[in-house]
Amino acid sequence: MFAKVNKFFSEVSVELKKVSWSTRSELIESTQVVLISTAFLGLFIAVIDLVLSKFIGVIIK
């Protein structure tokens, strides 16, 4: 059983060496894109929610 576990971790190590890791600057740029996109999407949803709730409030009254 320990041989299988040892083989597994050695194979994982080999596969991790094949991974193309992002550079620090690429990681920072990608994080900025995700944060800005998330903020815009949240703002968009908030505005649509506000408009629709006001519209429905006018219809109900």
For 7-59, write each residue's pLDDT tens digit: 999 999 999 999 999 999 999 999 999 999 999 999 999 999 999 999 999 99
DSSP secondary-structure letter at 23?
P
Q: Looking at the predicted structure, is the pLDDT value of residue 61 above 90?
A: no
Q: What global pTM score does this model have?
A: 0.64
Joined tokens for residue 32: 């900025």
DSSP secondary-structure letter at 19?
-
Angle at 39 between CA 38 and CA 44, to 5 degrees: 95
Whole-number pLDDT of residue 2: 87
The closest of 9, 14, 33, 12 to 22, measured between CA atoms, is 33
Measured CA to CA, the distance from residue 17 to residue 28 in angstroms comes to: 22
